[in-house]
């Protein structure tokens, strides 16, 4: 996965738009226009704050279905993401919770979104939705059928879940990339707002062998300087919200502060690379 080609940087900050409840979800409010207006406001705030990409999630549809979402959710997400794509100039992606990767790929292909996030691409995870099995075989074949130029960012040992058995993190990363054909991997803490450890990020990056590794949860401007030394990018949500609360709207000031902190690390990493001596081939 060429991060520069998609995000115009080698260390992207991807902000999250959490959609208000969509039709058929338990907390659906009855107005799709209200959902669209909030989504457009948050996407605008993220772009104004300097993020390199935006990912749209049906986060407030909880409790989630295990796999396939209702067709009306697909329709609503397609409409909303297309509106956002026409509103901002940064790349836009989709995470169709809990694990409707094929649905996300269908939306992305239809409206030319650049990437999707898949919570369980390979293996089996025990979650509050039940056992979720990876569907890499179906998703990769479907992408090929659609001839879709859509990158797949896949979680490894995703948050709010436990693996069946005790897989080694290194093996899990390698399987996700080599057997699941993920274009990038995401490492999170155990829950929303919980960051991965620096040690786990270092292990994942070593195992990925050049495939991009993203921080998937818990990043804020206090810890991003440390975490980004071992990662290639970050997906961030709660820290960019007003008062840092997941239920609040995006705060453009907090976005700008976070982006500045993340870019300081990226600049330092690039400077270090440029100062390394060239190795001449014999």
- How far apart CA 228 and CA 78 sit, in angstroms, is 32
pLDDT (tens, 9 = 90+) of the chain, 282 residues, equals 788 899 999 999 999 999 999 999 999 999 999 999 999 999 999 999 999 999 999 999 999 998 899 999 999 999 999 999 999 999 999 999 999 999 999 999 999 999 999 999 999 988 888 899 999 999 999 999 999 999 999 999 887 777 787 678 999 999 999 999 999 999 988 777 789 999 999 999 999 999 999 999 999 989 999 999 999 999 999 999 999 999 999 999 999 999 999 988 767 666 555 444 434 332
Q: Please state which CATH class domain 3-273 belongs to.
A: alpha beta
- How far apart CA 98 and CA 44 sit, in angstroms, is 25
- Count of CB atoms within 10 A of residue 124's CB? 14
Of 120, 196, 185, 187, nearest in space to 153 by CA: 185
271 by Cβ neighbours in 10 Å (0-12 / 13-18 / 19+) ranks as exposed
**pTM, two decimal places:** 0.91
- How far apart CA 145 and CA 105 sit, in angstroms, is 11
What confidence score (pLDDT) does residue 3 get? 86
């Amino acid at each position: 996965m060429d991060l520069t080609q998609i995000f115009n940087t080698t260390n992207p900050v991807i902000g999250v738009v959490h959609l208000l409840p969509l039709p058929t979800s338990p907390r659906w409010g009855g107005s799709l226009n209200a959902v669209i207006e909030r989504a457009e406001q948050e996407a605008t705030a993220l772009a104004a704050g300097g993020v390199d990409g935006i990912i749209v999630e049906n986060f407030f549809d909880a409790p989630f279905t295990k796999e396939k979402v209702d067709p009306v959710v697909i329709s609503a997400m397609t409409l909303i993401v297309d509106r956002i794509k026409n509103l901002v100039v940064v790349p836009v992606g989709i995470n169709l919770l809990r694990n409707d990767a094929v649905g996300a790929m269908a939306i992305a292909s239809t409206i030319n979104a650049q990437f999707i996030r898949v919570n369980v691409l390979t293996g089996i995870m025990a979650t509050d939705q039940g056992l979720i099995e990876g569907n890499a075989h179906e998703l990769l074949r479907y992408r090929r059928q659609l001839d879709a130029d859509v990158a797949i960012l896949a979680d490894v040992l995703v948050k709010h879940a436990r693996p069946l058995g005790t897989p080694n993190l290194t093996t899990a990363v390698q399987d996700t990339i080599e057997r699941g054909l993920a274009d990038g991997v995401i490492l999170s803490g155990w829950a929303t707002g919980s960051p991965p450890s620096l040690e786990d990020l270092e292990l994942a990056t070593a195992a990925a062998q050049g495939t991009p590794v993203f921080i998937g949860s818990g990043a804020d401007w206090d810890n991003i300087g440390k975490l980004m030394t071992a990662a290639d990018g970050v997906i961030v949500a709660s820290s960019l919200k007003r008062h840092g609360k997941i239920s609040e709207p995006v705060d453009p000031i907090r976005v700008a502060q976070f982006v500045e902190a993340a870019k300081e690390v990226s600049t330092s990493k690039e400077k270090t690379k440029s100062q390394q001596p060239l190795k001449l081939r014999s």
